[in-house]
Structure 1
């Protein structure tokens, strides 16, 4: 029987996923970016790597049937299905306190880097570093001259990305709390998402 988990707005969630198990990240409201990580459960020093994946796939975004690779160039997650327009970011680092200061925010701001650490801590784990995440539903178009743009998501309410674990892993999800740029919709409101384990 499928099991559903909610990732609260502005927070993170870590789940253990067995090899061969699939899960779906459901953009409940259609506008929420979800920073996503995967770590080898047996060795947290091996994790999903966007730079290794781009080199392996020879493109910026995976297509259904493609595998995201670890920093040891092994398949760690396979993209099984995607009902969204398929626009997901593999370039942008997780937000952190330094990013919000750079944008002019004063004081503490919730961020994906701390959400990753807190979610893993709830399982008694710690990240060896903060890998660049797979930013599901994040729309960062780029121009031929190299310019990047922080645009609103193209996803709609209920759009989902289904991934299959290629090894026993710990997956971490963060509802990105960025509310100073329109990456979570023009209203900059952070919302919850759903994780469905198949």
Structure 2
């Protein structure tokens, strides 16, 4: 069943091994922060560092594997109409807004929204670390300068992740202006059954 995450909010849910998560950008240029835990061991969670290391790349697309802090594969990207995502930057937070947008009223951001969503699964705040920022367009120049640019995703673009273990997944419609070309839009998602092989 297709579900909608309202702008600047988030949710959490479970997935079984083999199920597929389709994350959709219904209006275009909207980031969705994704984070995941092993459903049976909440001390195992998605790891940016392990994933960057083992993929030997900062670019993620069809065929890329997302690893846990215990070096196990949690998710595989099996379809991707954008093939432009970020796994370097932390989820936006109250502190992010104070730092980058000092003249705006801070909001919980993706970090706060994920913490609230994961609280239903008794997951503590300090376990929510660097997210897989689906559709986020981050460029790193030759001197190492990081730039956040408008997402390349168009209306209806999507990425499909296959669960490689039973998971608790958090997903947001990102709250940061620069990440979403200063428009806040919904994200849609659907959990698809395991493929018949």
Residue 76 of structure 1: CA displacement? 0.2
CA contact (8 A) 1:8 1:193 kept: yes
SS of equivalent to 2:71: coil
1:96 is matched with 93
TM-score by length of 1: 0.91
Deviations 1:96-141 (A, max 9, x none): 1111111214543131111011111244544552210000111011
| 2:141 is the counterpart of 1:143 | yes
Alignment gaps of 5+ in structure 2:
193-197
CA contact (8 A) 1:69 1:77 kept: yes
2:188 is matched with 194
TM-score by length of 2: 0.92
2:171 is matched with 173
Residue 78 of structure 1: CA displacement? 0.6
SS of equivalent to 1:90: coil
The structure 1 segments of at least 4 consecutive aligned residues displaced by more than 6 Å after TM superposition are none
Measure the CA separation in 1 of the matches of 2:128 and 2:122: 17
Deviations 1:147-197 (A, max 9, x none): 111110011100000000000001110111112x2x202xx1111111111
1:126-165 residue pairs with structure 2 within 5 A? 126-165=124-163
Residues 6 and 124 of structure 1, relative CA distance in 2, 3 Å threshold: farther
Measure the CA separation in 2 of the matches of 1:28 and 1:71: 31
Residue 46 of structure 1: CA displacement? 0.6
Residues 107 and 145 of structure 1, relative CA distance in 2, 3 Å threshold: same
2:180 is matched with 184
